[in-house]
Amino acid sequence: MSNKDAGSGGVQSVDRAVTILEIIARTGLAGITEIAGELGVHKSTASRIVSTLEARGLVEQDHHRGRYRLGLSILRLAGATTARLDIVQEARPITKMLAEATGETINVAVLSDGAALYLDQASSTSSVQSHNWVGQRIPLHATSNGKVLLSGLSETGIRETLGAKLTRYTPHTVTSVAQLVTQVAEVAATGFSLVIDELEVGLTAVSAPVRNAHGDVIASISASGPSFRFTAAKAASARDLLTQAAADISARLGWREH
């Protein structure tokens, strides 16, 4: 079998696995014969794919009926998406008010695959429309959002998430993991991160952590703008607004400060 054929077979198997999940989601319970019939494949093929899904907890067998239903791992996967939607929903009214209060761009980000993933953005109606960062990933070590998100991890977790090499984006980018760990510890202690010229020269950003009901850092909210306009004094004022906003969002998500 060629690599092309093997790749095609892999894609076909994935497609069939997804179809099986959709069948079970629609019917509630489905047997191998029923699944094979809808897929148009032999029962042995359907059984093999179902067994793989079962091994990953995506489906489970009802032993009384011998049929399959969706497994608990589906809830875990869905829960990750739901949690992000909850953050956006609870944060949006606050981010819009912050954008107007600061006159700068407000972003909400979460930790995702070793980067900061932007979930939502709000801009002041008086400012020129900024770049839309929603859906984009940015480096953790060179951004205020990233350092806030790292502040929720242990030192070991930080090192494992970052790896050994930190990319230099400007002369001000921190490229020493040890130095970054020290900075992140300070962020954890103070409850905010201020970054100037580390990702781009001329860009200033300040961020604060959003927490869940358990007090874990699950997101970061930031204000950012060009350094000539977003001066140190304005950043300090935005910092106070951001930390209060982050606490308000956290409270909406069930966190209570002790």
CA angle 245, 151, 110 (to 5 degrees): 60
Tokens of 234: 């304005």
Assign domain 79-253 to a CATH class.
alpha beta
* First vs last C-alpha separation in the chain: 62
Predicted pLDDT at 32: 94
Contact 12, 45 (CB under 8 A): no
**Answer CATH for 12-70 from 3.90.1150.10, 3.40.50.1820, 3.40.50.1000, 1.10.10.10:** 1.10.10.10
pLDDT tens for 60-114 read 988 767 899 888 777 666 655 656 667 777 778 888 888 888 888 899 988 888 8
Contact 135, 118 (CB under 8 A): yes
Which residues in 103-133 are b (16+ Cβ under 10 Å) and which e? bbbbbbbbbeeebbbbbbbbbbeeeeeeeeb
Tokens of 175: 């490229």
Q: Where are the domains of the chain?
A: 12-70, 79-253
The torsion region of residue 28 among left (phi > 0), alpha (psi -120 to 50) and beta comes to left
Whole-model pTM above 0.75? no
